[in-house]
Chains A and B, each alone.
Chain A
């Protein structure tokens, strides 16, 4: 990140101060930030595209099929073919729909999933905005995604979409509670809301000192919370088996009336939040960029590996489990996950106060 600052200052420094005068430092910061955003969003878009291909491949393999392999070598151009197809399709706006809200809803869905990357650290110090309360900021931003769902359901002027929107909104809010409680436990043990500090705190401890950092990460002492968090993010991103929002075979969801690029935005939002939530899981529970064993160097590649493993888990789960019934989804959220996380919050609190605390 610092490299970008230096390179841009070197390339544009002389010209910029002549054109903008005293304004230049402010303009420079805006310019640098834009470049950094592009550096984060462009690879993200690409990985979103290839996540769809990976999903189709893995689900295909698990069903004794081959998956897409016609477009380009091994089907590698398939995501672009899909994108191009959606690009050329007509965006049908239903009669009686609230046109502007209808078109704004997909933006509400995808914008938070992209904006939240601002506070995500990719390596030690490699973060766009090193906010003190990074985790809180992230939760606040991603919560806006619910508005996309509600507005899409409301503005479509369709009963199916409306009911689907209500359903999805209720689901998202319920699982956000369980997810938030799981995060509270993580914040308790790492004593910080800054994502970088949370990762760094996982690099300390009995096992880390013995060279087995992998056993010091939060997933082991907070195992039940880790599982709850993993299941919650599946529900939070509307993925199978909690894909009530899509429910293409029986209860169609909030984006029923969307087509073309507007639909593609919802689709991208789903994959963007999948990647975001997986990254968050890797940072909070799997030690982010830390290497699992003492003799291997830390680095960005470890984060990539961890995110890839969690994303593959998403696809694996989708290929395995049938969709939950809606009341079962709500029962799981409210009557199982919230009590478990509350209980574990108490247990961890008592554990931290006891002489056997591992987080001192």
Chain B
């Protein structure tokens, strides 16, 4: 008897219609697609994107050449050379991060005693050669100068958890 009932139930196409209503509702539901180059998803202040070297407000470099980041780097991506500057301060002459090696762990940022090396929210830095992935001191300082406001705000927001 039950099977006869099932046959008639299937002939009414009830289940198919309820399936169709689900998709019909979805047709008018809001869409979740983010149109990437025009729209972007919000990023955390802790986002680990492109590195940057920061300067003091007076324009001098924050980095004191302690090499703690070089030591902390698990991928050995950071290369630092130091020499005293004209005022006798210990400063870097070379500060390079090889992005072929970097794993974006953020240990360099944690190791830095003077908040000189940070990771910014910027992540759209694709290049066409491996050589282009070795970021020199100039590029890192430039990135820091460009985004100093954002970096300072992100660090301040994160400060209470550190």
A residues within 8 Å of B by Cβ? 58, 61-66, 69, 227, 316-317, 319-321
Contacts and interface: CB of A to CB of B under 8 A. Distances in A.
12 contacts: A58-B27, A61-B27, A61-B31, A62-B23, A62-B26, A64-B29, A64-B30, A64-B33, A66-B31, A227-B13, A316-B20, A316-B23
B33 A66 contact: yes
A58 B20 CA distance: 13
Contacts of A64: 26, 29-33
B33 A319 contact: no
Interface residues of B, number: 16
B57 interface: no
A332 to B, nearest CB: 10
Contacts of B29: 64
Contact of A65 (B13, B19, B24, B31): B31
A137 to B, nearest CB: 32
A227 B26 CA distance: 24
Given A64-B32, A65-B33, A227-B13, A320 B27 contact: no
Contacts of B35: 66, 69
A317 B31 contact: no
A227 B24 CA distance: 19
B12 to A, nearest CB: 10
Interface in B20-51: 20, 22-24, 26-33, 35
A-B CB proximity, top 4 nearest: A66-B33, A320-B23, A62-B23, A62-B26
Given A61-B27, A62-B27, A227-B13, A321 B33 contact: no
A319 B23 contact: yes
A316 B32 contact: no
A227 B35 CA distance: 40
B16 interface: yes
Nearest to B10: A336
Nearest to B20: A320
Given A62-B26, A64-B32, 5 more contacts: A62-B24, A62-B27, A66-B31, A316-B20, A319-B23
Contacts of B24: 62, 316
B19 A321 contact: yes
Given A64-B31, A66-B33, A321 B26 contact: no
A319 B23 CA distance: 7
Contacts of A316: 20, 23-24
A316 B24 CA distance: 8
A14 to B, nearest CB: 57
A132 to B, nearest CB: 36
A225 to B, nearest CB: 13
Contacts of A321: 16, 19
Nearest to B21: A320
B103 to A, nearest CB: 32
Contacts of B30: 64
A248 to B, nearest CB: 20
Contacts of B31: 61, 64-66
Contacts of A317: 20
Nearest to A63: B26
